Structure 1
Amino acid sequence: MLLGVDEFGHAIGCSPRSVRLWESKGIRAHLNPSSKRLLEREYANLNEAGRQRFEAALEQAGRLPQATAEPATRIQISVSSQQGDLLATFDGLRLVVDQTLSRCTVTPARVELIEERVADRIRTYTTTPPAVALAEIAPDFFEVQTISEERQPAAIQARLSELSAALGLLTADALMKLGEIGRANTWYGTARMAADDSPNRQLQATARAQHAMLPYYYGDLGKTIALARSAQELLSDTACDATALAAAAEARALARLGDQAGAEQAMNKAQRLTEALPNTGSDEAFRFNARRLLLYMSGTLTYMGRITRARRIQDEALQLYRDTPVVIDPALIQLDTALGYAMSGSADDGCRLAEHVLDSLPDEHRTRIVATRAGDVLDAVPTGHRLLPSAASLRKLISAEAAG
């Protein structure tokens, strides 16, 4: 059945005006990617007889590109199997493959602009409240995902996967801070898949090292250790932000499990790797520096029972964080100090300090992650001291945070 221009346009979901423009320009017509997909879809739905009639009509109109035509003017054609010529069949197949490989819906310049915006997100993330960070991340993530749904050249696709991994890690971390544990865990998994879809092994290690934080604060310490070791195995003894973080995360989890020797060994490795890193004071996400090492050593030494050394480390760390806009890390260090008080028999001091930390935080940063660490202080208070007024007051504040 022959269709007029209007009927054909409506049948394929395209405007009749566009069809008339293609008809007037013939092989010189420029089709955007979505229009190409519409025509290719309709062509693919034709039976063999319909395709032969279509190709015959194009030949009669003088519009069928020759094999020597430029890739931009090629259209997908099907070489008839009735010819029995296998080589000719593969000539036709090559045209289709060339067209697929040359099709790209995004320019490198656009990807560079997205990379610049994502770099800005990474740079400001540690000083941004998690709920605000999620709102800022969403538009960039939607854009990357929309582009990724189309077939892109391998080099572009690898860059898009890296962007998805970075945005996924920021999303997971923000959700973790907000106490959305299940969602955070699935987003960490998504970020790891995206990282593994790229050839960037350091990013793959970063995704695992970052994921290791979630079970440390909210779940299975064994999983923290497994993820941290997996990150280190990806890069062996390479000194980079990911391996230093992973070693520090392993040390802190081993200390909490009571493995003193293992914690000591992992902590020494973290120190060695951190010392080999460039001396940077950057607070951007995914960077590991002396300040962050001290944060992890604070928890490691506290759980190892080395309270005096832990307090020296905590004082040093807080001094380094004093001139930065980072909010959460200093709060976690102070909660380690409060935990040390509770573990060493000064329950009242520990509870008072933990309550002070929660009260002092801006509302937008008073999230579940700090409430959980304050709860750890309460858990460390000896049974005989849990009726202290300071313990009761801290318990009430934590409950109010959970309810809110």
Structure 2
Amino acid sequence: MERQVETLLSTSPAVQRRPTLMTENPRPLWAARIQAEREAHGWSKWEMARRLMEARGYEHGDVRNRARQILDWEKGDHFPRDWADAYVTAFAMTWQELFGAQDASVIPSVSVGTTAPPQARGDDLERRTLLQLAALGMGAGALGSTGEPVRQLLDLALNSEPRDLDDWHLTLSDHLHAIRTRPPAQVRDGLVVDLIAVQRQLQDADADEATELQRVIAALSTIHANALTRLGDHGAAIHWWRTARTAADVSGDLDLRLLVRAEEAGFGVYGQRDLATVLRLIEAAERIAGDSLSFWVADLAGTRAKALSLLGRHDDARQALNTYLGHDGDGARTSILPTLWNIDQTYFAQSWVYAHAGDEAKAGTAREQVLARTPDYQYAANVRLHEAVCAVANGGADTGTRQAVDIIAALPPAQRSHMIIETGKAVLRAVPVERRERPAVRDLRVLTSGR
């Protein structure tokens, strides 16, 4: 279900013909995506050319000429039909992930500026697609047991009114509040409806509105990936991170591009990515930031601190944490998601780093600050699990694991998010090997394994 909604966003005529900040002509989504992926890997056009030729098995070739072609492809002037498979190989992605289609047969061969298909045909196709999505949700139970999201999808397909941008910003605030206070499955269902609604509105938007709607899509996709991560649906979450990145890149909003990447890296430390990949994501985002003074550069340092602490590099983690501290979040409040970042997140990072290092006093001070401030049930549970991590790190394996069992077992099942369970597993990983068969340790292992 998640991949089909994402494909609807990726392949819609509205998305394919949206304007960019650089030109009034439309730029295809695949063009923005191949550029975004190249930049995320930190590759210049020349390096991309070498990677493509390597993927084709060419030991010799004209790198300069290929780099010029890459410029044309990234502008969307021409689709790289002869080199599309090489792109897929170089990025280790599938055709559909990269180009929004199964193969080249459905990608227009025309260059930028060609008139899109007639509106009526697009409406009919999209209406059928929405009805199919609704039917799929009813058949697979993917949209919840009440059927309300399915009803909303059907209503959207048959009678949809565009929202003004203030309404979309209010919608984002509502979803952000929901993700902090409600079970993530409920939040996911509402997000699917709004992701389809904004895609429909983008279809008829003028240039200025389209740019702002791309920002809305990036923000909605970021919250959606958040919900999917809490549900432990990592494959779908990673695809939505990619959609969020692409929409942010197309909008041309540097702060939003960094916000999305900071969130993606931040959620990666909960077992979604291996830690080396998380650190590479941070480095790629920092390259995009360049000399920018964006708040999100500091936020990336906070995530680096968490990743390094999980790797046992506690001195390096403290150094990265110091880069993060001292920011009051003014820069975050200027974004499309002004309430995304709260000061409790600084204290949460301190609790994480100090707890893993066994610094009980500093971890405790930070924990109390989080518990006094956070509206997010997940933050409250996890910061208390940090206390359990710290207890184990200081030799109290039985104390720490019993505490973790009590914290997780007390939560309603719908609130036992993957991120809480993953923090419980961090408590387990801190237990010395010779104590891993203790009764409390076994209880925590069963509770976090889902059995």
TM above 0.5: yes
Spell out the pairing of 1:81-92 with structure 2 (5 A cutoff): none
Structure 1 range deviating more: 234-243 or 215-224: 234-243
Q: Distance in 1 between matches of 2:256 and 2:390?
A: 34
Whether contact under 8 Å (1:375, 1:398) holds in the other structure is: yes
> Separation in 1 of the partners of 2:300 and 2:211?
24
Identity across the alignment (%): 27
Superposition TM-score, scaled by structure 1 size? 0.66
1:143 to 184, 188, 197: 197
Q: 1:177 aligns with which of 202, 218, 230?
A: 230
Bigger CA drift: 123-132 or 347-356? 123-132
Structure number with higher relative contact order (C-alpha < 8 Å, ≥ 6 residues apart): 2
Contact 1:335 1:373 in 2 (8 A): yes
Residue 72 of structure 1 is matched in structure 2 by none
2:313 corresponds in structure 1 to 259
Mapped to 2, the partners of 1:116 and 1:332 lie a distance apart of 28
Provide the rounded CA distance (Å) in 2 between the counterparts of 1:108 and 1:155.
Answer: 15
Does the C-alpha gap of structure 1 residues 285 and 327 become closer, same or farther in structure 2, counting only changes over 3 Å? farther
> Could you say which residue in structure 1 is the equivalent of 2:173?
119
Question: In the alignment, is the contact (CA less than 8 A) between 1:241 and 1:288 conserved in 2?
Answer: no
Aligned mate of 1:213, from 244, 253, 266: 266
Change (3 A) 1:117 1:277: closer
CA 1:206–1:135 in 2, change beyond 3 Å: closer, same or farther? same
SS in 1 for 2:251: coil
Give the direction of change, closer, same or farther, for the CA distance of 1:296–1:121 in structure 2 (3 Å limit). same
- 2:420 maps to amino acid: V
Q: Match of 1:244? A: 298
- Alpha carbons 2:347, 2:366 under 8 Å: kept: yes
Rate the CA distance shift 1:165–1:236 in 2: closer, same or farther, 3 A: same
Unaligned 5+ segments in structure 1 are: 1-96
- Distance, in Å, in 1 between the alignment partners of 2:166 and 2:352 is 39
Verify the 8 A CA contact 2:329 2:341 in the aligned structure 1.
no
- Look up the match of 2:419: 369
Give 1:348's aligned residue: 398
Q: Which position in structure 1 is the counterpart of 2:164?
A: 110
Seen in structure 2, the aligned counterparts of structure 1 residues 384 and 260 have a Cα distance that, compared at 3 Å, is closer
Matches of residues 238-387 of structure 1 in structure 2 within 5 Å?
241-272=295-326, 274-275=327-328, 277=330, 287-321=340-374, 324=375, 326-387=376-437
**Is contact 2:405-2:444 (8 Å) kept?**
yes
Give the deviation of 1:306 after TM superposition: 2.9
1:189 equivalent among 224, 242, 251? 242
Displacement after TM superposition at 1:294 (Å): 1.0
- Determine if contact 2:398/2:438 at 8 Å carries over to the other structure: yes
C-alpha distance in structure 1 between counterparts of 2:332 and 2:213, whole Å: 29
2:366 counterpart SS class: helix
Distance 1:215 1:115 in 2: 26
2:279 equivalent to 1:225 = yes
SS in structure 2 of the partner of residue 349 of structure 1: helix
Q: CA deviation at 1:138?
A: 1.6
**Contact 1:206 1:286 (8 Å CA) reproduced:** no
**Structure 2 portions without partners, runs of 5+:** 1-112, 124-159
Residues 1:161 and 2:205 aligned together? no
Matched length: 294
Is the Cα–Cα contact under 8 Å of residues 205 and 230 in structure 1 kept in the other structure?
Answer: no
Measure how far apart 1:231 and its partner are: 3.4
Provide closer, same or farther for how the CA distance between residues 285 and 345 of structure 1 changes in structure 2, counting only shifts above 3 A.
farther
Read off the aligned partner of 2:348 and give its amino acid letter. L
What is the aligned partner in structure 2 of residue 94 from structure 1? none
Q: Tell me the CA shift for residue 109 of structure 1.
A: 6.0
Distance 1:305 1:368 in 2: 24
Contact 1:108 1:156 in 2 (8 A): no
Pairwise CA distance, 1:239:
5.7
Q: Quote the Cα distance in structure 1 between the aligned partners of 2:339 and 2:161.
A: 27
TM-score under structure 2 normalisation?
A: 0.59
Contact 1:239 1:277 in 2 (8 A): no
Stretch moving more, 213-222 or 129-138: 213-222
Q: Determine helix, strand or coil for the equivalent of 1:117.
A: helix
SS of the residue 2:243 aligns to: helix
Match of 1:389 in 2: 439
Q: Which whole-Å deviations, capped at 9, do the CAs of 1:249-286 have from their partners, x for residues lacking one?
A: 111112222334432222111113x2363898xxx886
Q: CA RMSD in A?
A: 2.9
Alignment check: 8 A CA contact 2:329 2:342 kept? no
- Cα deviation 1:339-362 (Å, max 9, x = unaligned): 111121100111111111111212
Per-residue CA shift, 1:171-202, capped at 9, x if unaligned? 11111111111111111111111111102111
| Equivalent pair of 1:244/1:288 in contact (CA under 8 Å) | no
Q: Secondary structure, in 3 states, of the residue corresponding to 1:197?
A: helix
Distance 1:310 1:237 in 2: 32
User: What code does the residue aligned with 1:243 have?
Assistant: V
Cα distance change, pair 332–116 in 1 and its aligned pair in 2 (3 A)? same
Partner SS for 1:361: coil
**Distance in structure 2 (CA, Å) of the matches to 1:278 and 1:358:** 34
Report if the CA contact (8 A) 2:389-2:400 is conserved: yes
**Which stretch shifts more, 204-213 or 152-161?**
152-161
1:62 aligns with none
3-state SS, counterpart of residue 188 of structure 1 = helix
CA contact (8 A) 1:240 1:277 kept: no
C-alpha deviations, 1:355-374, integer Å up to 9, x for none? 11111212221122211221
Structure 1 distance, partners of 2:206, 2:290, is: 31
Q: Which has the larger radius of gyration?
A: 1
User: Residue 139 of structure 2 corresponds to which residue in structure 1?
Assistant: none
